[in-house]
Structure 1
Amino acid sequence: MQNNVIIDAARDYVLAQYQQHPRPNLVYHNLIHTQQVVQVAGQIAAHYRLQDDELLAVYVAAWFHDAGYLLGEGKQHEENGAKEALQFLQQQQVPENVQTMVQGAIMATKMPQSPKTLVEQIVCDADLSHLGSKEFSDRNKLLRHEMELTYQQEIPAIQWLTGNVTFLTQHHYWTDYAQTLFKQQKEENLAKLKKKLEKKTEDAAEENLAAATVAATGTEGAPVTATQKKKKDKTAKSERGVETMFRTTSTNHIRLSSMADSKAHIMISVNSIIISVILSVLVRRLEDYPNMVIPSIIFLTTAVLTVIFSVLATRPNVTSGVFTKTDIEKKNANLLFFGNFYKMHLEEYQWGMKQMMEDSEFLYSSMTRDIYYLGVVLGHKYKLLRISYNIFMFGLIISVLAFLIAAIFFPVKA
């Protein structure tokens, strides 16, 4: 219980330090980073089931490991943080063995890390847990920005990526638990860094080659520069975006058409059952219940009209199935719809498709036309389907009311 009180006091002390000593330049080594380290340190400590003094040392060291950034130069932040933690622990009258463990854990985070005990290993692994997390890219950008603010100069991308690749390659987690928890994601992060570094190096080589060509010939060279390559990449991405848009839109139209057909089939099935029941059962009893004739006619009419409009909504429309060379030359034929070519010979269709594939404007025009007519058909189908549902809904209400009126106000006399 006493340990929990000291841990809470350490948290409050560090939070107060961040409020009393604001450092806007610390965009990475800030309170968020400290809280993340405390959380991960607690997770690892829980795995190893640390008790009492060791658990207290892990939490206090995690809270104070970067507090030195608020008290002096960043290069000496471990020493400053260890001193600050010692003063805090002495005020709390914590045993000397805990003070020693906390100081050792904070100093062990100094690069290159050199942990000797399990407590020191846990704090070191928690401090660099972001290397094996999915937030690595965002955290790494913040670290670069902080270093640029600190040294007041921009860090070249290749230099930064090279340093990161080297650091992640040489780094290893100390505890078995951290190795299991973070290793796979860390390897993925390292692979992404290597890929970025390779691309940046290639772009720089192309720019250097272009600059050398200009210097040697006095003309702006033929080699493709990184800027030109980016423009080509943007164009390619734009084309892929257009293709994705067409594919998604067509898929959505087809899905909506399938939904409309399903709704129509439901109405056809339900009302077919109603019609069969009325004709086979109710009609035979109308002689005994003449007051039910009008309600039955209304109910039967509702069911029949509903089926008619549902069938119209699903009824296919057959087109000519033929296109001519003139249609292709004028770009009027939509070769993506089967109704325009199902009567054609294979050779003629292949010729038309080849013409369309060689002309991107014709291709995109055909795709646009195909989506448009899908939408037109879909609109007509949903209009008929809406009429069918309205007839069924209002007709059912009127029929029920008619049956009630006939039963209540016009009962059959015995």
Structure 2
Amino acid sequence: MNYRILLEQVQNHVEQLFKTPDASNLLYHNLTHTQKVVEATTQIANHYALNDHDFFIVITAAWFHDIGYLHTTAGHEEIGADEAAALLTRLDVSDSIIEKIKHCILATKLPQHPTNLLEEIICDADLFHFGTDDFTENNKRMRKEARLLYHKDFTKEEWRNKTIELLKAHNYFTEYCRNRLNAKKLENMERLLNQQYKTAMKNNDEEQAKPDITGISENNKSKNEKRPDRGIETMFRVASSNHQKLSDMADNKSHILITVNSIIISVVVSLLLRKLDENNHLTIPAILLLLVSLATIVLSILATRPNISNGTFTQQELNNKTTNLLFFGNFFKMSLDSYKEGMLQMMGDRDFLYGSLIKDIYAQGVVLGRKYKLLRAAYNIFMFGLIVSVVAFIIAATIDS
């Protein structure tokens, strides 16, 4: 099935429908709005890396979700779902796909109740503008359209109150939209609340003048409070940078020990061991010095020797959020597509993302602890061993003389 060609046919069909005279009263629920919902759907779908099958479902639903407004306002979702089914049947699209598209369209009916990711995507895309700078202009168009469709002149205050209640009750379903849009959405609502407050003060209505945001969805508030901020990002960045610097310092110290002791071993082997026949009294100090240098080198190498994981992760680990995709050892054997899908899933889930950062910093700390423990042991062996070796040389030379 060529989904690209099918989407082109769907787009052409919907665009032609919106060119009919019935669309003249649609100042908001028109082709422009539909195109913006398609753009938002595409953006969210790309974030979640949907496959071609699911991408076709949500984009088709986006094109048809408001087509019912050409006939009526009440039950327009059902009409849109039926029109989508009629076209797709003519295009020989399977019944299973058609049913999923219909469910996505019906899920946009207020109050929204999506049951899966595809339905969540189309629901969030439909009200994407709640969390954008276009909200105020779109809200004005909706009011003008409502006047024409319902033949009722809503005052500014009436419409503002209805909009505030709608924003309070609404919440985005996808993690992507919550993180991206909630802050601006609350900003838009606060602007309306301030306008409501000013109007109430003019009318000397003290009760109405109290801005009330208690009705805001707790889900919205909590998600907004959890939004990443500069302090958290700075904390992770500084911690990771400090760990990297400490790791580099440990590696440099290890390299110094390896270099110094390699020179000592070379000198002892090349010069001293050849003359042990003539200087038997230096045998024990020489062997002691070689053992000290060898032990120091071994510990220094162990401190810098990397540990490699199996290089793969499973879908179950992704779903359980137990893998750390920020560490190369967990993915270097995976394909690019699998890793990309996993990263997109992680970036769309705040808890998964920050959990991975925490695991990454913790893992760096564990590695640093092991490095510095081995490095300290290497320095202790080198320091005390060198002292003992020198004393041994002095004693041997004294006894011989």
Q: Please report the TM-score for the alignment, with normalisation by the length of structure 2.
A: 0.50
What SS class does the counterpart of residue 77 from structure 2 fall into?
helix
Contact kept, 8 Å, 1:56 with 1:98, in 2: the verdict is: no
User: 1:92-115, CA deviations, whole angstroms, 9 ceiling, x for partnerless residues?
Assistant: 111222101100000000010111
Letter in 1 for 2:80: G
1:204 aligns with 2:175: no
CA distance in structure 2 between the aligned counterparts of 1:145 and 1:46, rounded to whole angstroms: 33
Amino acid at match of 2:107: A
Identity of aligned residues (%): 36
Residue type at the aligned position of 1:13: H
Instruction: Note the alpha carbon deviations across 1:68-93, whole angstroms, 9 max, x for none.
Output: 111x2111210100000001111111
- Using the TM superposition, name which of 156-165 and 78-87 deviates more: 156-165
Q: Is the 8 A contact 1:125 1:174 kept in 2?
A: yes
| RMSD of equivalent CA atoms | 1.5
Aligned pairs for 1:13-28 within 5 A: 13-28=13-28
2:32 alignment partner in structure 1: 32
Structure 2 CA distance, aligned partners of 1:85 and 1:134? 31
5 Å-filtered alignment, 1:225-304, equals none
Once the two structures are TM-superposed, the CA of residue 194 in structure 1 deviates from its matched residue by 0.3
Q: CA deviation at 1:21?
A: 4.3
How far is the alpha carbon of 1:63 from its aligned partner?
A: 0.2
- Specify the alignment match of 1:330 in structure 2: none
Q: Which runs of 5+ in 1 are unaligned?
A: 207-414
What runs of 5+ residues in structure 2 fail to find an aligned partner? 206-401
Amino acid at match of 1:139: N
**Which residue pairs with 1:134 in the alignment?**
133
d(CA) in 1 for partners of 2:192, 2:16: 37
Q: Whole-Å Cα distance in 1 between the matches of residues 11 and 132 of structure 2?
A: 24
CA distance in 2: counterparts of 1:129 and 1:164, whole angstroms = 15
Match of 2:164 in 1: 165
C-alpha separation between the residues in 2 aligned to 1:40 and 1:67? Answer: 17
2:111 aligned counterpart, secondary structure: coil
Paired with 1:164 and 1:200, the residues of 2 have a C-alpha distance of 15
Matched with 1:143 is 142
Shift of 1:14: 0.2
Deviation, structure 1 residue 162: 1.3
Q: Deviation per CA, 1:255-278, whole angstroms, max 9, x where unpaired?
A: xxxxxxxxxxxxxxxxxxxxxxxx
Q: How far apart are the structure 2 equivalents of 1:75 and 1:200? A: 32
Larger of the two Rg values belongs to structure:
1
* Number of the residue aligned with 1:121: 120
**Letter matched to residue 184 of structure 1:** A
**Letter aligned with residue 46 of structure 1:** N
Local SS of the residue matching 1:172: coil
Structural mapping, 1:9-408, within 5 Å: 9-70=9-70, 72-205=71-204
Give how far 1:20 is off. Answer: 2.8
Q: Distance in 1 between matches of 2:203 and 2:11?
A: 47
Asked if the contact 1:40–1:129 (Cα under 8 Å) also holds between the matched residues in 2, the reply is: yes
Q: State the alpha-carbon separation in 2 of the partners of residues 199 and 176 from structure 1.
A: 34
How far does residue 7 in structure 1 lie from its aligned partner after superposition? 0.7
Whether the aligned pair in 2 keeps the contact of 1:158 and 1:201 (CA below 8 Å) is: no
**Residue 89 of structure 1 aligns to which amino acid in structure 2?**
L
CA apart distance, 1:153 = 2.3
